[in-house]
Structure 1
Amino acid sequence: MSGDDDLSHLSLLELYREETRTQTQALSERLLALESGEPDSVALEACMRAAHSLKGAARIVGVPLGVDIAGRMEECFVAAQAGTIALTAAHVDVLLAGVDLLVRVADPQAQPVSPGEIDAFAAALKGADGAQTMQLPPAAPPSPQPPPVVPYREHESAANESVGAGAPMPPLAVSGALPDPVQAGRAAGAGAMRRVRADTLNRLLSLSGESLVESRWLKPFAESMLRVKRAQRDAARALDLVCEQFTDDLDAGVLASMNEVRHMLNDLQRSFAERMDEFDRFERRSTHIAEQLYDEALQCRMRPFGDATRAYPRIVRDLARSLGKQVRFSIVGEGTQVDRDILDLLDAPLGHLLRNAIDHGVDSPEARRARGKPVEASVTLEARHSAGSLLVSVIDDGPGVDMDALRAAVVRQRLTDDETAARLSDPELLEFLLLPGFSMRDAVTDVSGRGVGLDAVQEMVRGVRGAVRIFNEPGAGMRFVLQLPLTLSVIRSLLVEVGGEPYAFPLAHVRRTLELGIDDIDVLEGQPHFPFDGRRAGLVAAHQLLDAGEPDAARASTAVVVVGGEPELYGVAVDRFLGERMLVVQPLDSRLHKIQNIAAGALLENGDPVLIVDVEDLIRSVDKLVRGGQLAKLMHNPQLALADRRRRVLVVDDSLTVRELERKLLEKRGYDVTVAVDGMDGWNAVRSEAFDLVVTDVDMPRMDGIELVTLIKNDPMLQRVPVMIVSYKDRDEDRRRGLDAGADYYLAKSSFHDEALLDAVHDLIGDARG
Structure 2
Amino acid sequence: MSTEDDLSHVPLLELFREDAATQTRVLSDGLLALEHAPADATALEACMRAAHSLKGAARIIGLQNGVDIAHLMEECFVCAQRGELTLSASHIDALLHGIDLIARVGETNPAEAVTRADVDAFAMRLASSHAAPRVSSSAAAGTTTGSSKDDEEATMRAALALLGADAAALGGGSPRTASDAFPDAAKPAVEPEPQPASARERMTRDAGRMLRVRADNLDRLLSLAGESLVESRSLKPFAESMLRVKRTQREAARALDAFYEALAEHLDPQVLASLGDVRALLSNAQQLLAARIDELDRFDRRSANLAQQLYDEALQCRMRPFGDATHAYPRLVRDLARSLGKRVRFSIVGSATQVDRDILDMLDAPLGHLLRNALDHGVETPEERVAKGKPAEATLTLDARHSAGKLLISVGDDGAGVDLERLRAAVVRRQFTDEDTAARLSEQELLEFLLLPGFSMREHVTDVSGRGVGLDAVREMVTAVRGAVRIYNEPGHGVRFVLQLPLTLSVIRSLLVDVGGEAYAFPLAHVRRTLELPRDDIDMLEGQQHFPFEGRPVGLVTAHQLLGADAAEETRASVSVVVIGDEHETYGVAVDRFLGERMLVVQPLDARLGKVKDIAAGALMENGDVVLIVDIDDLLRSVDKLVRGGQLDRVRRAEGVAARQRKRVLVVEDSLTVRELERKLLEKRGYAVTVAVDGMDGWNALHGASFDLVVTDIDMPRMDGIELVTLIKRDALLKTMPVLIVSYKDRDEDRRRGLEAGADYYLAKGSFHDEALLDAVRDLIGEAHG
TM-score class, shorter-chain normalisation, is: 0.5 to 0.7
How far is 1:213 from its partner? 0.3
How far is 1:593 from its partner? 4.5
Q: Is 2:18 the partner of 1:35? A: no
Q: Is the 8 A contact 1:543 1:551 kept in 2?
A: no
CA distance in structure 2 between the partners assigned to 1:507 and 1:537 by the alignment: 22
Q: Is the 8 A contact 2:38 2:88 kept in 1?
A: no
Which range moved further: 297-306 or 469-478?
Answer: 469-478
CA distance in structure 1 between the partners assigned to 2:583 and 2:529 by the alignment: 15
Task: Note closer, same or farther for the CA distance 1:238–1:575 as it changes in structure 2 (3 Å cut).
Answer: farther
Aligned residues: 590
Cα offsets for 1:643-699 (capped at 9, x unmatched): xxxxxxxxxxxxxxxxxxxxxxxxxxxxxxxxxxxxxxxxxxxxxxxxxxxxxxxxx
CA distance in structure 1 between the partners assigned to 2:485 and 2:446 by the alignment: 14
1:470 corresponds in structure 2 to 487
1:81 corresponds in structure 2 to 81
CA distance in structure 1 between the partners assigned to 2:509 and 2:353 by the alignment: 18
1:51 corresponds in structure 2 to 51
CA distance in structure 1 between the partners assigned to 2:396 and 2:463 by the alignment: 21
Choose the corresponding residue for 2:259, options 242, 247, 256: 242
1:192 corresponds in structure 2 to 209
Task: Note closer, same or farther for the CA distance 1:539–1:332 as it changes in structure 2 (3 Å cut).
Answer: farther
Task: Note closer, same or farther for the CA distance 1:327–1:285 as it changes in structure 2 (3 Å cut).
Answer: same
2:183 corresponds in structure 1 to none
Q: Is 2:248 the partner of 1:231? A: yes
Mapping 1:149-188, distance limit 5 Å? 187-188=204-205
2:730 corresponds in structure 1 to none
Mapping 1:659-738, distance limit 5 Å? none
Cα offsets for 1:488-534 (capped at 9, x unmatched): 111244656788765545565678999x999xx999x9987799xxx
CA distance in structure 2 between the partners assigned to 1:105 and 1:612 by the alignment: 46
Q: Is the 8 A contact 2:555 2:586 kept in 1?
A: no
Q: Is 2:121 the partner of 1:124? A: no
2:281 corresponds in structure 1 to 264
Q: Is the 8 A contact 1:502 1:611 kept in 2?
A: yes
- One-letter amino acid of the structure 1 residue matched with residue 84 of structure 2: T
Q: Is the 8 A contact 1:324 1:364 kept in 2?
A: yes
Which range moved further: 67-76 or 396-405?
Answer: 396-405
User: Percent same amino acid among aligned pairs?
Assistant: 65
- One-letter amino acid of the structure 1 residue matched with residue 237 of structure 2: P
Q: Is 2:390 the partner of 1:373? A: yes
Q: Is the 8 A contact 1:215 1:283 kept in 2?
A: yes
CA distance in structure 1 between the partners assigned to 2:126 and 2:263 by the alignment: 112
- One-letter amino acid of the structure 2 residue matched with residue 126 of structure 1: A
Q: Is 2:399 the partner of 1:382? A: yes
Which range moved further: 584-593 or 492-501?
Answer: 492-501
Report the TM-score when normalising by structure 1. 0.66
Q: Is 2:477 the partner of 1:460? A: yes
- One-letter amino acid of the structure 1 residue matched with residue 623 of structure 2: N
CA distance in structure 2 between the partners assigned to 1:637 and 1:481 by the alignment: 51
2:112 corresponds in structure 1 to 111
Unaligned runs of 5+ in 2: 135-173, 181-193, 657-786
1:358 corresponds in structure 2 to 375
Cα offsets for 1:279-327 (capped at 9, x unmatched): 1100000100000000000110001111100110011101111111111
- One-letter amino acid of the structure 1 residue matched with residue 46 of structure 2: A
Task: Note closer, same or farther for the CA distance 1:517–1:94 as it changes in structure 2 (3 Å cut).
Answer: closer
How far is 1:206 from its partner? 0.4
Q: Is 2:333 the partner of 1:323? A: no
Match of 2:411, SS state, is strand
1:712 corresponds in structure 2 to none
CA distance in structure 1 between the partners assigned to 2:413 and 2:553 by the alignment: 36
CA distance in structure 1 between the partners assigned to 2:424 and 2:98 by the alignment: 45
Match of 2:212, SS state, is coil
1:658 corresponds in structure 2 to none
Mapping 1:545-560, distance limit 5 Å? 549=568
- One-letter amino acid of the structure 2 residue matched with residue 464 of structure 1: V
Structure with higher Rg: it is: 2
1:216 corresponds in structure 2 to 233
Task: Note closer, same or farther for the CA distance 1:364–1:182 as it changes in structure 2 (3 Å cut).
Answer: farther
Match of 2:363, SS state, is helix
Unaligned runs of 5+ in 1: 134-160, 168-179, 639-770
Mapping 1:614-629, distance limit 5 Å? none
Task: Note closer, same or farther for the CA distance 1:312–1:459 as it changes in structure 2 (3 Å cut).
Answer: same
- One-letter amino acid of the structure 1 residue matched with residue 34 of structure 2: L
Task: Note closer, same or farther for the CA distance 1:331–1:228 as it changes in structure 2 (3 Å cut).
Answer: same
- One-letter amino acid of the structure 1 residue matched with residue 450 of structure 2: L
Choose the corresponding residue for 2:604, options 587, 606, 624: 587
Q: Is the 8 A contact 1:2 1:188 kept in 2?
A: no
Choose the corresponding residue for 1:207, options 224, 232, 238: 224
Mapping 1:558-569, distance limit 5 Å? none
1:12 corresponds in structure 2 to 12
Cα offsets for 1:674-733 (capped at 9, x unmatched): xxxxxxxxxxxxxxxxxxxxxxxxxxxxxxxxxxxxxxxxxxxxxxxxxxxxxxxxxxxx
- One-letter amino acid of the structure 1 residue matched with residue 303 of structure 2: S
Q: Is the 8 A contact 1:527 1:631 kept in 2?
A: no
Higher relative contact order (CA 8 A, sep 6+): 1
How far is 1:337 from its partner? 0.9
Cα offsets for 1:235-283 (capped at 9, x unmatched): 2222333334444555554444333222222111111111111111000
Report the TM-score when normalising by structure 2. 0.64
CA distance in structure 2 between the partners assigned to 1:594 and 1:335 by the alignment: 37
Q: Is the 8 A contact 1:537 1:569 kept in 2?
A: no
Q: Is 2:303 the partner of 1:286? A: yes
Which range moved further: 207-216 or 249-258?
Answer: 249-258
How far is 1:382 from its partner? 1.6
How far is 1:466 from its partner? 2.6
CA distance in structure 2 between the partners assigned to 1:114 and 1:408 by the alignment: 51
Task: Note closer, same or farther for the CA distance 1:551–1:83 as it changes in structure 2 (3 Å cut).
Answer: farther
